[in-house]
Structure 1
Amino acid sequence: MLSVIFDLDDTLCDYAAARRRAKRKIDVLLSERGVPTGPAYWARFDELDPVLFARFTAGELALEEYRRLRFEIPAVDAGADRATASAAAAQANAVYVASANTDIELFDDALPALGSLRAAGAELSVFTNGPSDGQRAKISALGLAPCVDHVFVSEELGAAKPSPAAFGAVLRALGRTARQSVMVGDSPATDIAGAHAAGVRAVLLDRTGRQSDPGVETIATLAQLPRLLASAL
């Protein structure tokens, strides 16, 4: 049996759109509290978020520190005093977590692809980076749990993609070898490079057509996946 492991954010669900909606709400909240936002603020947020998440995964930051600092540091950089930035960051994070993790939708091609693969006998899993509460909230909001056999969240594993240790933990939990598995995701650095480092076949989902690497199996839509994997099922 082939074990097909899917990334969640921007692979099965449109997390980018959910983030944009959450950021618009936070722009209003922060402006009401005198914290300047705009492109520079969000560019700093996007720069900090993966760095702080890596420190959280490594045990260097508590969850609430990680979440607060990604909003607080850009506010201080934008000129807010530390006390104002800290208080506003806590409120901004509450809005972000509530909105981005629940006001979210599956891509139209997700359920048909999952259904086709399951009908063909594949074992289906989700392997996602992030805090457990947020990622589990997304799974619930999306109604995704009945559509897959397993869900793996980096916080629960104690390691995150692209670490080979994270992929190893997933394979051990599944009772599968690397050769019996395939990773499907939208991130060349996190999903594809991480899977390859663990010896797992990887398929890049490139919805925008912006990736170009002849050495990487690539699809433009999940509708193409069942046919691509047909010989392995």
Structure 2
Amino acid sequence: MSPRSLEQTLDGVHALLLDVDDTIVDTQEAMVVAGTHAAAAVWPHRTEEHRAMAQRYYDDPERWFPRYASGDVPFEVMRAGRLAEVAAAFGVEVPGEAHRSYEEAYAPAFRSAQRLFPDVPDLLDAAEGERLPVALLTNSALAPTRVKLEALELVERFDVVVTTDTLGFGKPDPRVYLEACRLLGAEPGRVVCIGDNLEWDVLGAEAAGLRAVWLDRDGRGTSEPVASVRGLDELTAVLDRRFGPPGTDR
């Protein structure tokens, strides 16, 4: 089966549903920068390894984050599990008060490291100009999501933000996509979900009855028959072609 073209995927769309992490914000770099500061606070004697520790925390080889997203473990347990895995991988102990020290160093560094991908503003402007509602659907919790939006001055930009706190679990459970559509007041078949995670943002969304576009910034490619883009500017271009420039009577 051939994938839909972008034009087909966006035809008759009533709303956009955007992922957050590594879709509109560079969460990987923010987490690695913040994690480097946090690792230095917990294991100051391992100077040369702090960034590698932070990268491993982000990579999450034991898949603690998907377990949190599915509702199997609480947020705090997920964070502690990832920290313990890093310690084991680098042959260090988790000292007493490590979790508090890690979080106290991590939080301010994470906030200051937030960066919006440069192709996001034009997409939001194009959607706003055509009165297409844009919602956020993320497997992160509400608190860190708000930190990102506040740091980027985007809190007022999105009326609908669905996090794992909303229903107690996240993507790819079909109910979270449908809840986002309900809050948007749009039929699932008229909503396009856009994100960098093929399983969560595309296959899960399509299984729930939405349309979807995979954001493949690194050009990895897939054998799945899905619509894909290398950047959000490709979506913006299609919206501009489809709708044309805003009229003067708007």
TM-score under structure 2 normalisation? 0.79
Structure 2 counterpart SS, 1:104:
coil
| C-alpha deviation, 1:35, in angstroms | 9.8
- Structure 1 residues not aligned, in runs of 5+: none
Equivalent residue for 1:52, pick from 64, 76, 93: 64
User: Is the deviation greater in 69-78 or in 55-64?
Assistant: 55-64
Say whether 1:79 aligns with 2:91: yes
1:154-173 to 2 correspondence within 5 Å? 154-173=164-183
Q: Distance in 1 between the 2:88 and 2:74 partners?
A: 20
Per the alignment, residue 112 of structure 1 pairs with 122
Structure 2 counterpart SS, 1:32:
coil
Per the alignment, residue 61 of structure 1 pairs with 73
The 1:89–1:208 alpha-carbon spacing in structure 2 relative to 1, beyond 3 Å, is same
Q: Distance in 2 between the 1:59 and 1:218 partners?
A: 29
Per the alignment, residue 29 of structure 1 pairs with 41
Q: Distance in 1 between the 2:237 and 2:138 partners?
A: 24
The 1:56–1:220 alpha-carbon spacing in structure 2 relative to 1, beyond 3 Å, is closer
Q: Distance in 2 between the 1:74 and 1:2 partners?
A: 43
For residues 33-70 of structure 1, give each alpha carbon's deviation from its aligned partner in whole angstroms, at most 9, with x where no partner exists: 67994687456534547733344445543332222221
- Structure 2 residues not aligned, in runs of 5+: 1-12, 245-250
Say whether 1:8 aligns with 2:24: no
| 2:216–2:228 CA contact under 8 A, matched in 1 | yes
Structure with the higher helix share, 1 or 2: 1
For residues 139-185 of structure 1, give each alpha carbon's deviation from its aligned partner in whole angstroms, at most 9, with x where no partner exists: 11111133333221122232201111211221222222111200011
TM-score under structure 1 normalisation? 0.84
Per the alignment, residue 207 of structure 2 pairs with 197
Residue type at the aligned position of 1:137: V
Structure 2 counterpart SS, 1:202:
strand
Q: Distance in 2 between the 1:172 and 1:22 partners?
A: 35
Identity of aligned residues (%): 26
Structure 1 counterpart SS, 2:97:
helix
| C-alpha deviation, 1:27, in angstroms | 3.5
Residue type at the aligned position of 2:77: E
Say whether 1:17 aligns with 2:29: yes
Per the alignment, residue 150 of structure 2 pairs with 140
